[in-house]
Amino acid sequence: MQKRNHNAIAKPLLLFSMMMVFVTVIWANGEPWKGKPYQQWDDKDIERVFLNSPWARTTTITRTWLPISSKDLPDKITSGAGRQVPKELERSGETSVGGELNFYVFWASSRVMRAASARKAVLHGDNKALDVEKYAREPQDEIQILVRSGDMAPFTRKDEKFFQANAFLQPRKSNQKISPSHVRFERDAKGILVTSALFFFPRKTASGDPTIAADEKNVEFTCQVEGSTLRVNFEPQKMVDQAGPDL
């Protein structure tokens, strides 16, 4: 009788252990945003979100501009003490013109991208007490597209209004160009060079309809960068986490 009870207990425990191993394998090999809690993401999960997820795109454009020099910056930026342009950026740019440059474009308003940013801050930043889940699920009134590159000279030379007028989202189904409501630059620690540009787009039209339909399959982001066009495509039907569609 005792042996039978022991077997009755052991079998469920063995099954539970096997299930946990199976779930662990899925988390290790699968897409972290489809089941692994944000609070448990590690560096590899975060890297996958930023480099190989439906919310992240990389494109290459031809550099048509010279590096930044002091004369390119507004007086209000260079007038302060210690706010000179780094010397390495004042080198001759003849060899860099015509080269290829990677630009990284992120659907930054999504829960997944916000969670990845917050989790990275918890693991490597100063905000160890940040509630990743709360930050990820905080409602975003507008769609946000973040643009980043190793050379953001065109954004340093032009202001936010210029890029607001020279960028748009275009869903394939409606084929309507959606203009940004505004653009915000993020700068380096010295407040000199632009490190990224955040584009804000309305979620609804003037009539109250969604700017991106629920069944939309392709949305293109386009931005003029000097003499080149930055263009990437997002697939909303693939932009889904454990809570559903994530734009």
Domain boundaries, the chain: 1-30, 33-245
pLDDT-based confidence at residue 227 (cuts at 50, 70, 90): confident
Contact 110, 239 (CB under 8 A): yes
Q: What is the mean pLDDT of residues 130-141?
A: 92
pTM: 0.81
Q: Is the pLDDT of residue 197 over 70?
A: yes
Mean pLDDT (the chain) is: 83
